[in-house]
Structure 1
Amino acid sequence: MGGNSSAQGGAIVFETGVEFSVWSHHAAQIDLCLFDDDGKEYARLPMARDSDHVFRLFVDGVKEGARYGYRADGIYAPDNGLWFDPSKLLIDPYAKAVDGPFRYDLRLGIFGEDTQHLMPKSVVTKDAPVKIRKPLFKPGGFIYEVAVKPFTILHPDVPEAQRGTVAALAHPSVVAHLKRIGVDAVELMPITAWIDERHLPPLGLTNGWGYNPVAFMALDPRIVPGGIAELNETVAKLHEEGIAVILDLVFNHTGESDRYGTTLSLRGIDNLSYYRHVVDRPSVLVNDTGTGNTVACDHPYVQRLIIDSLRHFVRSAGVDGFRFDLAPVLGRTANGFDRNGTLAAILADDLLGDRIMIAEPWDIGPSGYQLGNFPTPFLEWNDRARDDIRCYWRGDGWKTGSLATVLAGSSNIFSANGQTETRSVNFLAAHDGFTLMDLVSYNDKHNEANGENNRDGHNENHSWNNGVEGETAYPVIRERRKADVMALISTLFASRGSVMLTAGDEGGRTQHGNNNAYCQDNEITWVDWKLLDEDLIAHTAFVATLRRRFSVFSDLTFFSGNGDVEWISLSGEPMTIDEWETPSFSTLGMVLATGDRSNRKQTRLAVLFNRSEQHQLFTLPSAGETNWRQLLPDGARKVGGRATIEPRSVAFFVEN
C-alpha cells in the first residue's frame, strides 16, 4: 500500500484501488468523474461528506495513471459568492499531474456549458520520494533566474525534441554555461500548469511566463512533459554539478481571474473559502494581485494546501527552495499583513524549515510594500537596491551614499528588530521589466506588441539610451552600452547579500524595449544563444569568480566600520561629508577586509567605481610597504599605490 496525499485532498493509491478526497465547506454535493485514456467519461460517482467537510470515495480497481475530475453542485449565486455549476469539470486542487495543458475558452466561464471536452484531466499518481539533502544554496550566492522555455528553445546543442523543457536544463552545454558564469542556484520561473489570460487569445498572444496558475502541484506538460520524474532527474543532475534549484511558485492568485473569468478548480469547488472577498460584499473579489482574484492564504485549508504543495516538491524532486510571487498575499489576513501566520507556518514545517525561502515583498493591495518585514530567514527581492544602482550609473545626483548603502547590504532596511545580517537579494533586472541591455538602450518602454497600446508595464524604469534609442546605434554607442552593462554587473557582484541575474542578461539579450513581455512566447523573449556577447559573458564569469574567491562576499553581517570597510575618495583618504553630499561626485572607493580563498590569507580588496566620462586616478590606501595588484580576467597586474580607472567602469584591486 502506498499513500501519496494529504487527508484533506488528492488521490491515495492502495493495492486494490484509489481513495479520492476533496474539501469544500459550501458544496451540497461533489461527484467524482472517471475517464478512459481517450478522455471519455465512463463513471460519475457521488462522494460522501465527512464531519470535516471532506468529500471522500474509495473506488476499487482504479490504478495509477487513471484520469479523473470533479463536479460540484450547490447554489449558483455569484452575487453571494457562490459559483456551483455541475456542468463544469474541475481539476483536483491536489492533482500532481494533468494530462494536457489548459487552453482558454469562453465557455469555461459560462454557466451551464459543459466543459468536459475543454478541460485537461487530473491524473492519479504515486509519490516516489527522493533522498532529501540540505540545500546547496547558501545566502550570499549567485541566483540565476530562468524562464525554462525561452532559455533553451533556441539552444543549438540541445536536441530539438528537448528544447524548451526542464530536461534541457541538464544538457551538458547548458550546465557548462551555468558553471562558467558561476551560478550557485537556478530559480525556475513557474513550471506548474497555467492558463492564458482571457484577453490574450483574441490578440494572437499566449502567456509565456506561467504566472497564472490553475493547479499548484501539477507541472505544465508543455515545459515538463515528463512530469515530476523529469524535474527530479534535472534537479539531481544539477545537484551533481553543485547547482541548486529554486522554484518560483504562485500562491497569490489563480487563472480563474475575476467574476468574468473561468471556472476550473477552486472557484467551482468553494469560491467563498478559497478566495478573499470584500468584507460584507461576497460578490466582490479582493484584487491585491492585479489579476482579478486573491487567494485566501490565511484560511486553514488553503494554508494546508500551500504547505502540502511545497512539501510535494521537496519530497518528490528534492528542490532546494522556493521564491514566492507577490509574497505579502501569503501573509494577508482580514486585518492586514501578518508575518506570523502562513509565512511562519511554512518555516515551522519539519520538511521545509531548512529550505531557501525568497519573497517578492510587495503586492498592489493596501500596505502591500513589505520589504524588510518578512520573518527570518526569508530572503527578499530588494527593488530599492535595483533602483539605486540604476540611478547611480544613470548619473542621478545624491546617489553616492545610496550606492554605498546597497553595497553594504541595505542595513537601513534589514536591521530592523535587532537583525545583524542582510537578507537582501540584490538584482539589476528581472523577468518583469527591461532586460539589462535594454536598460541602457531605451529611455521608454516599447510594449506595442502586447496589444494594449503601450499602456501596460512600468513607466519609470530609471533607464537611459546613451544618445540613440534602440539596438541600432553607432559602434561607439554600442561599446558605451557594453561598458555600462559591465559596470552594472560589477556593482551587483560587489554588493553584500545574495545576487541575481536573469538568464541571458550576462550576454546582452534584448526584448527590443518590451518591459512586460509575459505574453510574448516568441523570439522577443527567447534567448538567442548565437547573438550573446562573449565579452559580457566573460566579464560576468570574472566577477563571479572574484565573488567566490573573497570571503567578504559570503559574509552577511552588517559592516561595523571598525576595520572591515573603508570608503575612500580619489586621494585614498576617507570620504568627507562634502564628498558624500556633492551631487556631481562621480567616484567611490570601497576597501574591504577579507579572506582570500586562493591563498588562505587575510588581505584587503579595493573596489573602485568611476561613473564619469573621464579616466580617474585613484591613490590606493597604504600601510607601510603595501603594494596593490589589479585583478583582471586574465590574471593580475601590479599597480603600486596608484591606479587609473577607465571611464564608466568598476575595477578590483587586491593588496599584496
Structure 2
Amino acid sequence: TKSVISEMHVKGASYLNPAIPEEIRGSYAALAHPASIRYFQEVGITAVQLLPVHQHLDDSFILEKGLVNYWGYNTIGFFAPEARYAATNDPITEFRDMVKALHLAGIEVIIDVVYNHTGEAGTDGPTCLFRGFNNLDSYHTESRLPGNYRDYTGCGNSVDVSHPRTLRTVMDSLRYWVKEMHVDGFRFDLAVEMGRSPDSFKRRAAFFQAVSQDPVLCQTKLIAEPWDLGPGGYQIGNFPNDWCELNGKFRDTIRRFWRGENVLGEFATRITGSESIFAHNHRGPGSSINMITSHDGFTLNDLVSYNHKHNFANGENNRDGDCHNLSCNHGAEGPTDNPDIIELRLRQIRNFLATMICSQGVPFLLFGDERLHTQHGNNNTYCQDNKLSWISWDDSEEAIEMREFVQRLTTLRRENSSLNRDSFFTGKVCPSRGLPDICWMRPDGTTINRTDWNTSEAGALAMLIHQTESQKPLLFFFNARAEAVNFHFSKEPVCEWQLLIDTQNPKISGHQANNGATVTLNNHSMQIWEAV
C-alpha cells in the first residue's frame, strides 16, 4: 500500500528528454540514466510499470497504413526483451543494467506481460510461435471445429494456459524474468484469460495455483487486468488473495463524481479501498490499484479537455477506441484561450490527482499526467510511435506547477500512514480519542446518515480519518458542485487545523482554522487539513 506505481512506455518516456544523451534516448539505458531516476524520485514514484517489453510483432494491417504496433501487445517472444528498445546490440544486458540502476535508487520494476494471446493472430495470421509446434495444446479452439480459434481477447486467438505444456511455458517465462532479469512483478494483460478452463473463469485455475505455489513467483507483485472479452469476462474482486487488481470501478466512479454526478455513496466506498469488492475473500485495501487514467484511454489532460475521442490518425475513421470515457471538456472541445476554462481544467486535474493519491489502495499514475501530457484527444494511441505518444519535456509554467503539486501529494502519502492502511476502516470508536477511525459529514459539519447517501443534492461531503494516537487526524473537504460551498470544521477532535492541500490554490498551505470555523471551497475543488 506504500507503493506509487507509474505506467510508462520505454521509448515514449525518454525519447524527447533533452537531459538524456541523444544516442540512448528511448531505450532501457535511458530509463537507467541519472536524469530519469532523479525525476522518478522527485515525483515520488516507487515502481515503474513498463508497457510490454517482450519481443513483439507489428500487425500487417497496421503496417499497411504506414504505422506500427507502438504499445507492443502482440508478443512473439516470451523470453526475449524487445530489441528495438535497446541502445546497444545486447538488449539482455542493457535491460538487466536498467533494473539494477532502478533498484539501487529504491525503485521497483514491474513489466506488463501478454500471455493471453500471441502475435500469431487468427487462422490467417503468421506461423511464428505456437502454431507450428502444437496448435491444439496452445490455443482455445472450437471443439467441433478445431481449426477455429475461440477469441476471448479481440486479437484473433486465446492462449490455453490450462494445458500443462502451455502452462509450463508461461511459468518458465515468468521465472526467467524474475531470476535472470530481476524484475519485481508483473501486470497481466486481460488476466481473466489466464483463469479460463476453457469457457468459465476460475480463481483456483491451474495457473493461479501454480503461481502461488512457486517459491520464486509467490514473492513477486502480481497485478491483474481483471477482464477479457469472453463470457463472464468482468471479474474484478475475484482474483486470488495474493493478487492486486486494476480497479476500473474506482476510475469510473471518481470521474463521475468530479463531473458532478450523484455517486456520493460509491465515491466514499472507492476512496476508502473498495471494501465491497475485496473484503469478501479477506483481502485488504492494497488489493485495489487505483487509477484514473492508463495507456488505454485519454490522458488526464485530455480527460478534462475533450468530450469525444479524436482517433482519426489511427486510420480507422475514428471507429477504434472506447466511447465511454466519462470525460468533460468544461466548455470547449480541445485547446482553448478561455482563461476560466483553462483554470477549471487545471483544478479538475488536481482534484483527480489528489483523490487518487490520497485514497486507500495503491495509486497508479500514467507517466506524463504530472506533466500535462496531451494526445490531442486520441484515446487509443496503440499505433502512434510519434510525438502524439512521446512525453514532451518542454516545461510550461502550468506543467511545472502540476509536477510540484504531485510531489507534495506523494510526500503527504508517504509520511502519513493513515493514507496507506493495510486494513479497511471499521467505524469503531478509538478509546484514546473517543472518535471512530472514519467519519463522514455534510458541509455543515453534521454526520451523514443513511438517507444522505442517496440525496439528490450531490457532490459535497467531508471525511475525517485517523488511525492511531500518534497519527494526526486528517480532514478532507470535497466539492464537486458547480457552485461554491461553505464547509464547517468538525467539533471533534478539539484542535486547530492546518491546511495541507488546496486544489484551488495549489501553492498555498499552512493556513490554520479552529473548531467550528468555516471555509469556502470554490466550485470543483477539494482541501486536505491536518490536526495540529
Q: When the two structures are superposed, what TM-score results if normalisation uses the length of structure 1?
A: 0.76
Secondary structure class of the residue paired with 1:390: helix
Greater CA drift, 179-188 or 640-649? 640-649
- Unaligned runs of 5+ residues in structure 1 are 1-138
Supply the distance in 1 between the matched residues of 2:57 and 2:494 (Cα, whole angstroms). 65
Q: Are 1:207 and 2:49 counterparts?
A: no
Higher relative strand content:
1
Corresponding position of 1:152? 14
Answer whether contact 1:629 1:640 (CA < 8 A) is retained. Answer: no
> 1:391 pairs with 232, 256, 265, which one?
256
Residues 1:380 and 1:625: Cα distance change in structure 2 (over 3 Å): closer
Q: Post-superposition shift, 1:531?
A: 4.5
Corresponding position of 2:402? 536
> 1:606 pairs with 459, 475, 485, which one?
475
Answer whether contact 1:140 1:556 (CA < 8 A) is retained. Answer: no
Amino acid at match of 1:490: A
The one-character-per-residue Cα deviations of 1:181-208 (angstroms, maximum 9, x if unpaired) are: 1111100110110011121111111111
Answer whether contact 1:414 1:422 (CA < 8 A) is retained. Answer: no
Q: Post-superposition shift, 1:618?
A: 1.5
Q: Post-superposition shift, 1:613?
A: 3.2
Secondary structure class of the residue paired with 1:366: coil
Corresponding position of 1:294? 158
Greater CA drift, 566-575 or 482-491? 566-575
Supply the distance in 2 between the matched residues of 1:278 and 1:166 (Cα, whole angstroms). 41
Corresponding position of 1:639? 513
Q: Post-superposition shift, 1:624?
A: 6.3
Q: Are 1:626 and 2:490 counterparts?
A: no
Give the structure with higher Rg (CA): 1
Q: When the two structures are superposed, what TM-score results if normalisation uses the length of structure 2?
A: 0.94
Corresponding position of 1:499? 363
Supply the distance in 1 between the matched residues of 2:102 and 2:404 (Cα, whole angstroms). 22
Answer whether contact 1:410 1:422 (CA < 8 A) is retained. Answer: no
Amino acid at match of 1:645: L
Answer whether contact 2:348 2:524 (CA < 8 A) is retained. Answer: yes
> 1:452 pairs with 316, 320, 335, which one?
316
Secondary structure class of the residue paired with 1:282: coil
Q: Post-superposition shift, 1:386?
A: 0.2
Q: Post-superposition shift, 1:615?
A: 3.1
Greater CA drift, 277-286 or 358-367? 277-286
Q: Are 1:342 and 2:204 counterparts?
A: no
Q: Post-superposition shift, 1:347?
A: 1.9
Supply the distance in 1 between the matched residues of 2:280 and 2:61 (Cα, whole angstroms). 43
Supply the distance in 1 between the matched residues of 2:410 and 2:23 (Cα, whole angstroms). 32
**% identical aligned pairs:** 39
Amino acid at match of 1:648: H
Supply the distance in 2 between the matched residues of 1:624 and 1:422 (Cα, whole angstroms). 28
Q: Post-superposition shift, 1:472?
A: 3.1
Q: Post-superposition shift, 1:416?
A: 1.7
Divergent runs of 4+, >6 A: none
Residues 1:421 and 1:537: Cα distance change in structure 2 (over 3 Å): closer
Supply the distance in 1 between the matched residues of 2:395 and 2:282 (Cα, whole angstroms). 47
Greater CA drift, 425-434 or 575-584? 575-584
Corresponding position of 1:166? 28
Corresponding position of 1:63? none
- Greater RCO structure (CA 8 Å; 6+ sep): 2
> 1:227 pairs with 91, 115, 120, which one?
91
> 1:281 pairs with 130, 138, 145, which one?
145
Q: Post-superposition shift, 1:625?
A: 4.0
Q: Are 1:358 and 2:223 counterparts?
A: yes
CA RMSD of aligned residues (A): 1.5
Answer whether contact 2:487 2:521 (CA < 8 A) is retained. Answer: yes
- Within 5 A, what are the aligned runs for 1:408-557? 408-531=272-395, 533-557=399-423
> 1:252 pairs with 116, 130, 147, which one?
116
Corresponding position of 1:579? 452
Greater CA drift, 613-622 or 139-148? 613-622
Supply the distance in 2 between the matched residues of 1:251 and 1:311 (Cα, whole angstroms). 14
Corresponding position of 2:531? 655
Q: Post-superposition shift, 1:594?
A: 3.3
Q: Post-superposition shift, 1:422?
A: 4.7
Supply the distance in 1 between the matched residues of 2:339 and 2:39 (Cα, whole angstroms). 27
Q: Post-superposition shift, 1:421?
A: 4.7
- Unaligned runs of 5+ residues in structure 2 are 429-435, 502-506
Amino acid at match of 2:124: Y
